[in-house]
Structure 1
């Protein structure tokens, strides 16, 4: 089921505390990918695809929350899965990365593991799709290319859309006869925020233009969040559930 990216980033919050954010984004030539493939929590991000087993994503996040390293958590799940040869599973934990592509995934398929991120895809036009996603994310991950720890100043959700766009522009999913597509992104953080930004959990479930629609949805979500905080921030501070 097409291609996805999982990332881990360290940053300093407004109070000067060190935090970690995790993100995952995915797109495919089928509807409703956001219900099946991307999973994230404050301990990691996981994507399950090819012949999808949703439990691999759900349990993977649970295992990470229990303190398992990502490679141990996901490998254990794959070892117990009879469908392992047809699975593609990858993700990042608090201090590691993992990617697996079963030998029965449909070509082109493959994955890439980088510093603090993983990318994987199947049924693609070629390996350059995965490379484009990875390289675009890498270029966006720091404000200063000579300082990998510098904060890029751009929300991770926006940069994930950009990474998907790079792969999509090179052909992405090769099943051009399937015009109904979808895309999704999910970002989670260790930071205790009064209100989670609206743009950190977005889905486009059925469209012919998934990346354009996901970007437009992101931009509208940012606008809505900024308006709400500008007009009602004091009320949200008094009532944590007021923005739900």
Structure 2
């Protein structure tokens, strides 16, 4: 019921996850990242506990493959899970259990990995990787491009209803966390992409406001001078 991409930016060291699903609030349950550590996704029949478990392993120095193995070994139903990870060195790993739903597959690129289940066709993850690697710009731009490419390639077997973009940089909090938890009409990926277009020029300002309000630019809201 989900397709996603997990990636590391080689230039900035940022980590990110972009994800979409026919299920509600997919990013809230499935996308996880920690600055300087890595990014992971847990999907299909989702166990959200596996996200922090993989990040915890990465923080202790595990590779992406070792983190995924740790999550599998600590789960009672690994055959129902689809797990993705990228580590601080750009290493990637993927696990798709034998009970993954519908048409499911994955693809691996340079410091990025994509996977999906209940897909319209088995070419969707490869298209996501190709689009991510062919797109210039910020990590967010590239992740959004991958989601758009997935939809253009068929996406899920049914309509998607939720989507999200999660990026971490140098701070303990997300650099960007944009979500559409449910959309009856229209495309949640297009809505997240629009939110990213608005947020991207302001992202660094929000970091400055947190670290040093005295150096912060105008907030740009009514009443602010």
Q: How does 1:24-103 map to 2 (within 5 A)?
A: 24-42=17-35, 43-95=37-89, 96-103=91-98
The runs of at least 4 aligned residues of structure 1 exceeding 6 Å deviation read 240-243
Deviation by residue 1:79-109 (Cα, 9 ceiling, x = unmatched) = 2212111110011001211001011111210
Q: Does 1:136 align with 2:131?
A: yes
Alpha-carbon distance, 1:219 to partner: 1.4
Over 3 Å counting, the alpha-carbon distance change for 1:7 and 1:172 in structure 2 is same
Structure 1 vs Structure 2 CA RMSD: 2.7
Over 3 Å counting, the alpha-carbon distance change for 1:106 and 1:234 in structure 2 is closer
* 8 Å Cα contact 2:5-2:114 kept in structure 1: yes
Unpaired runs of 5+ in structure 1?
12-18, 141-151
SS at match of 1:131: helix
Q: How does 1:149-160 map to 2 (within 5 A)?
A: 152=136, 154-160=137-143
In 1, distance between residues paired with 2:19 and 2:196? 14
**Residue range with higher mean Cα deviation, 48-57 or 215-224:** 215-224
Over 3 Å counting, the alpha-carbon distance change for 1:8 and 1:225 in structure 2 is closer
Selected match of 1:163 from 146, 161, 171: 146
Deviation by residue 1:215-236 (Cα, 9 ceiling, x = unmatched) = 111112235547x57xxx6896
Q: Which residue of 2 aligns with 1:173?
A: 156
Q: Does 1:182 align with 2:162?
A: yes
Over 3 Å counting, the alpha-carbon distance change for 1:239 and 1:54 in structure 2 is farther
Question: What TM-score, normalized by structure 2, do the two folds share?
Answer: 0.85
In 2, distance between residues paired with 1:163 and 1:93? 20
* 8 Å Cα contact 2:57-2:70 kept in structure 1: no
Q: Which residue of 2 aligns with 1:6?
A: 6
Over 3 Å counting, the alpha-carbon distance change for 1:159 and 1:241 in structure 2 is same
The number of residues matched between the two structures is 214
In 1, distance between residues paired with 2:6 and 2:30? 11
SS at match of 1:175: coil
Q: Which residue of 2 aligns with 1:119?
A: 114
Deviation by residue 1:146-195 (Cα, 9 ceiling, x = unmatched) = xxxxxx4x22112211110000112211124xxx6010011112x469x9
Question: What TM-score, normalized by structure 1, do the two folds share?
Answer: 0.79
